[in-house]
Structure 1
């Protein structure tokens, strides 16, 4: 009996010790399956310029970038490598566990123990949405995870399509939202999931949501990295990459360095042990292949991928400091999204070109933009700093989603706008041609749907080809003057119907009135870059008493002969 009690007591002791060890495991990086711990330390590295930042970003991905330092997690070997390059390194925390303990960050959990999704829960919730809203929601398996291709697990890359007539491929605008390329960024799963949930649950009650769903096809892929996600739940909370066995004792590829556009460039690593290992070749990973294949079989107008952390809204390019061809519009859109986000909870998300943070190659948004011509954006979600960093408390899941909702809805709306500006001009509220007798009133109104070009700089034109030469509308004086100079220069906006002429008594003859915008703001009419509308007006004779005729001619805005 004593021996049995002794064994039982030891059993509980070892059970307790084992539980303590397991509680620390999610915060320790393990070198593959060898069990050898590779401690990653959180450090501050002092920098003098952007070149320093880019050099360090080629070793590991910075958590935060500041004017004169960066925050980064690195191994001891990487610290020595960095110091050999002449950088000053200050160790902030020996491990993520030390960071958590220091700040007392509430521990978030995924799966049955917490509010963050596991892969199984995401799959189940997606299928429930499909079951509850079968006419507008359908779940697709768009590819396998790496471990599934090896027969090690049964995890798919899941997408949900939301549209009226969801079973059909209609000629409608399409948009793609993506989450969790990086396993430790749990919040990047939740925001796109809640977007899907919001759209289907509000379809029948919100006319705006209904319009978006009826007029477009919305694709959402919340978890591109299900293997890494599960590993971050079960073993290493700070795991970043997928779970490819690299064959040298290391595991994982950084999937946001695995896309083919400028693959292998600066800001990625050929070292398989690196956190930013780009893989053996572009699109080497089944997960990135799934995203690629989805994109190549659809006509997406925009793509938004969620990451954490930093509260940033990024746009191409990431691989170079050079501006993207659409930099002005990309900047305008991200600034608008930042304003929308701030309007919810007051959180500030900074819009900027990706490379302004640091150079990175083979990224998702660069590939969508550079290879496919699709506007690609990255939102780095809450928080702003390394406390709590990737360990975002569960209480912040819903606020993070809520503040990002209007930006997501704006991008959906933008994707469904006309690609080009649509100027419109009407005479007496008609598209023309209009025929009136001399002495009758003619009213001209112009309006503009800026489409997806809203915010772009342009020349605005309002011109008239009359029997006595060309005239242009002067916005400042609200009058017509001889010549063909520009009416207004500035950014495009949606213009409600605006009257530019209201007169009676124009001389007999054929008139052509034009309203347009020229996307090259240089004060010249650039053929090929101008969008315009035309209305014709024909004024026929009418026999007037001589004195009345002279009075009408004198009151005309245009000269007579």
Structure 2
């Protein structure tokens, strides 16, 4: 719903108009019934943005004009709530204290612990591949709606017979910790190749593809215009711009958790794979499958919530996948390894049954179409204190613990005598 109500306090900055979120709050609501959500639209007139929803709680961002309406409604219904964020703009201002512009290459001069722009990330991809020839290759996967290049790294010994792993970041533009974590995972794996047994074995046995940021237009827009932008930048001639590309996959398209309203944050688009970014990325990987490369692991990295989820996500009544036990055991072991670094706890479970349904989401595509036995969505830090606005000081610990979890999952993959889906 944010597309409707962010026409609030706008400050001109050069040729762009930058949205400010002074006195916007995030409330964590603990609903006792489902019906109360039906009143949100009526009471708030669309002036809210659901940040995160589970069966037990919902985080909602509201502007100063309607926050009292919301709290009054909750009090009338005896629904408990906490104020998670008092002022969104203050978190935005704190998010990048360094304010660095560091284009530096893929070597020692690149700062891995700041949030980088699209241009900086693309330069890093090129330089990182150049600095690690023989192990890393730069790949242009396709173009965005606005003509920006979507790049991937292919990391591995690059044997023509190796199966594949695919990591994807930044499909939701405002989740900056996702691209930052993709960059750090690539760095750590390459640095440990040849010295760490698991890193060496996985890159000898697999081709690892990493797309640091898939929603490149939306990511640019979060830097130039609206830090809280989620969708891509496609407009279909309606009052609102953008499609939620993580509702645009074909498996379960149009199901619960996705919207047909172009002004919704979960707008699924006019049809599945309607977005040029989606067509480019899915075609790239399915062409690899058609050419004989099997994929054993797919992960789409998001924020926030500290969740590790697996199919099916499109319906709570969908049948249990054949690989449920392996998916669950692999994720639980990896989450335990992750926790051992900084004590960060992740919830592991089935996407729809244990958390919330989302029709047309990536983990279902990864399992259904890419045929990856191990297919996950991971929601990175934190649990809501900063939400999408995780300060730069958390980039390094998030990267460190996520890498530990990935190494454990890699070992699971290497130890699996049959890392192919059960029929």
Q: Show the counterpart of 1:122.
A: 121
Aligned counterpart for 2:344 among listed residues 342, 347, 361: 347
Flag structure 1 segments of 5+ consecutive residues without an equivalent: 1-16, 30-38, 149-154, 421-450, 454-518, 520-528, 530-561
**Structure-2 change in CA distance of 1:209 and 1:360 (3 Å):** same
- Is 346-355 or 324-333 further displaced after alignment? 324-333
Task: Find the residue that maps to 2:395 and give its secondary structure.
Answer: helix
Task: Find the residue that maps to 1:341 and give its secondary structure.
Answer: helix
Q: Show the counterpart of 1:335.
A: 332
> How many angstroms does 1:313 deviate by?
0.5
Q: Show the counterpart of 1:136.
A: 135
Q: Show the counterpart of 1:255.
A: 245
Q: Show the counterpart of 2:301.
A: 306
Q: Show the counterpart of 1:42.
A: 26
Task: Find the residue that maps to 1:63 and give its secondary structure.
Answer: strand
TM-score (norm 2): 0.80
Q: Distance in 1 between matches of 2:321 and 2:40?
A: 24
- Is 40-49 or 297-306 further displaced after alignment? 40-49
Q: Show the counterpart of 2:359.
A: 361
CA RMSD of aligned residues (A): 3.9
Q: Distance in 1 between matches of 2:85 and 2:343?
A: 29
**Structure-2 change in CA distance of 1:79 and 1:267 (3 Å):** farther
Q: Distance in 2 between matches of 1:419 and 1:413?
A: 12
Q: Show the counterpart of 1:98.
A: 87
Corresponding position: 1:237 with 2:230: no
Q: Show the counterpart of 1:294.
A: 284
Corresponding position: 1:157 with 2:154: no
Do the aligned partners of 1:24 and 1:97 also contact (CA within 8 Å) in 2? no
**Structure-2 change in CA distance of 1:227 and 1:21 (3 Å):** closer
Higher alpha-carbon Rg: 1
Q: Show the counterpart of 2:380.
A: 381
Q: Show the counterpart of 2:110.
A: none
Do the aligned partners of 1:110 and 1:233 also contact (CA within 8 Å) in 2? no
TM-score (norm 1): 0.61
Q: Show the counterpart of 2:58.
A: 70
Flag structure 2 segments of 5+ consecutive residues without an equivalent: 1-9, 42-47, 103-112, 289-293
Give per-residue Cα distances to partners, 1:296-342, cap 9 Å, x unaligned.
Answer: 12321110111000111111111122432222221111111110110
Corresponding position: 1:218 with 2:208: yes
Q: Show the counterpart of 2:265.
A: 275
Task: Find the residue that maps to 2:326 and give its secondary structure.
Answer: helix
Q: Show the counterpart of 2:311.
A: 316
**Structure-2 change in CA distance of 1:371 and 1:53 (3 Å):** farther
Give per-residue Cα distances to partners, 1:33-66, cap 9 Å, x unaligned.
Answer: xxxxxx9763444422578789989x96542536
- Is 114-123 or 124-133 further displaced after alignment? 114-123
**Structure-2 change in CA distance of 1:71 and 1:18 (3 Å):** closer
Q: Distance in 1 between matches of 2:211 and 2:78?
A: 40
Q: Distance in 2 between matches of 1:399 and 1:163?
A: 25
Q: Show the counterpart of 1:192.
A: 182
Task: Find the residue that maps to 2:146 and give its secondary structure.
Answer: helix
**Structure-2 change in CA distance of 1:380 and 1:54 (3 Å):** farther
Q: Show the counterpart of 2:291.
A: none
Do the aligned partners of 1:158 and 1:221 also contact (CA within 8 Å) in 2? yes
Q: Distance in 2 between matches of 1:51 and 1:291?
A: 38
- 1:377-526 correspondence runs (5 A): 377-385=376-384, 387-417=385-415, 419-420=417-418
> How many angstroms does 1:227 deviate by?
0.6
Q: Show the counterpart of 1:494.
A: none
Task: Find the residue that maps to 2:349 and give its secondary structure.
Answer: strand
**Structure-2 change in CA distance of 1:111 and 1:307 (3 Å):** farther
Q: Distance in 1 between matches of 2:91 and 2:125?
A: 37
**Structure-2 change in CA distance of 1:64 and 1:357 (3 Å):** same
> How many angstroms does 1:72 deviate by?
1.9
> How many angstroms does 1:414 deviate by?
3.6
Q: Which has the higher contact order (CA 8 A, sep 6+)?
A: 2
